[in-house]
Amino acid sequence: MDHRKPTIHLAAISIPAFSHQASILQFSKRLVQLHPYLHVTCIFPTIDAPPEPTIDFLQSLSSSSIHCIFLPPIAKHDLVDHHGNATPPAVQIQLAVSRSLPSLRDALKSLCISSPLAALITDPWANEVLEVAKELHLLSFVYFPLSAMTLSLFLNLPRLDREISGEYRDLKDPIEIIPGCSTIPINGLDLPEHLQDRTSLSYELILQRCKRCSLADGFLVNTIFEMEQSTITSLQNVFPIGPIVQSGSSSSGTGSGCVEWLEKQTPRSVLYVSFGSGGTLSEEQLNELAFGLELCGQKFLWVVRKPSESANSAYLGDGEQDSLQFLPSEFLERTKERGLVVSSWAPQNEILRHSSTGGFLTHCGWNSILESIVCGVPMMTWPLFAEQKMNAVLLTEGLKVALRLKANERGIVEKEEISKVVRSLMEETEEGDGIRRRIGELKRDAASALKQDGSSTKALSQVVDQIVTLWRQRQSN
């Protein structure tokens, strides 16, 4: 690497959600490690205040080549719909980004004056900034922190909107006009919940953003070429640069003794149960999960969050509290010999990497999926919101590295179903053995992609070459 190259300045814009901010910060870290002459300024819109986990993450980066600007906060109570009603978290995020656009434009213009920008990279939910990039004559890329399958859906949503009448959830047959997804049966009900009501504000906002994607010069997708090859090759200007996941030890310690407890368990004997940074279950469903874990007879490490009727009530970081009080009476006492239950948070990266972890019951957030693949941990899928149902289909029907739990007619996954699927995954069965073999192959693909000559490293270098070439042309004019 030629360290004598002049510094080239990029801006990266995310949204006010920790999972997205962590992903783009981790991407920026990899970018400057591979190309030390790059400097990245991350710009984050804010709801009320910056997320505390993001502040912690920034402090752990210790890179002089990455800086962060938090835009003036938008008050959460002002993020309402046309009628003044409270809106879902995904809509709040999009409204906050839109209302932050004037200060975002000012920040970018200021950067262009103080240290001329070569390119702009944005989260798909903040892609209004693509129009600003055109105003400032900058190359622009969308950093897509989700799967290539989800990108394909978003790029083709305007076409679906034109060609399909009625609600997607009412479609009788799988959707076959999403490029690269013809071999995986995506049904209308598998699409993100914000696409299920085409008269809603959330659908309108998403459709606008999907139409705006054509302004981008390319898409940096947090996936692995070998994992989603058919989808990636069916799209244009897509660069698979993943897996971008958190690495190393958590800055927050070991989390209620999780790692110490795992040290005492036998290899691949523990099922890790977590619904990510924002997923929540209803009280009835929380009880069924508890009884299912008790019934299955397997060891488990469960991260419990306060129950809620809204599956993503914790997504914007609402206050944590002791969640163990919501568990069934005497559950902790009855399972203390083979289970560890912690409240709200656990060091997921360390848990998945631990040799005692043999399975992961996950909400199918893309960050969690990639972390599980990198660690070679088989999965059970329990999708809750956003694009997680699509991810579950990819894992179970496409990659075949997970088992899917089935809900009853009321949408509740019953304890008998939980117990049965846990045993199928964790015990030495033909089905479980096949999943472990395939996830092992994906783990090797993920490691290879990040090597110096790997597919992800090469894809990222292609993007950097584009940026450097255009920057040099401008400098010479």
Q: Domains plus CATH for the chain?
A: 8-241+451-476 (3.40.50.2000), 258-446 (3.40.50.2000)
Model confidence at 240: pLDDT above 60: yes
Mean pLDDT of 16-23: 92
> pLDDT-derived band of residue 315, with 50, 70 and 90 as boundaries?
low
Across residues 214-220, what is the average pLDDT?
Answer: 97
Sheet of strand 8-13: strand arrangement: 66-70, 38-44, 8-13, 117-122, 139-144, 218-221, 238-240
Q: Does 5 have pLDDT greater than 70?
A: no
Convert the pLDDT of each residue in 36-84 to its tens digit: 999 999 999 999 999 988 998 998 887 889 999 999 999 998 898 777 7
Helix (H, G, I), strand (E, B) or coil at 109: helix
The CA-based dihedral angle spanning residues 193, 174, 442, 265, taken in that order and rounded to the nearest 10 degrees: 60
In Å, what is the CA distance from 70 to each residue of 27, 73, 138? 18, 8, 22
Catalytic residue among 35, 39, 123, 217: 123
Q: What does the mean pLDDT of the chain come to?
A: 92
Does the annotation mark 3 as catalytic?
no
Classify residue 161 as exposed, middle or buried by CB count within 10 Å of its CB (0-12, 13-18, 19+): middle
Q: What is the pLDDT of residue 189?
A: 94
pLDDT of residue 2: 46
Neighbours of 448 (CB within 10 A): 15
Nearest Cα residue to 37 out of 4, 67, 7, 2: 7
Q: Is 56 a catalytic residue?
A: no
The pLDDT value given to residue 84: 75
Of these residues, 2, 3, 9, 20, which one is catalytic?
Answer: 20
**Alpha carbons 147 and 124: distance in angstroms, whole number:** 12
pLDDT over 80 at 364, yes or no: yes
Record the pTM: 0.93
Beta-ladder partners of 68: 42
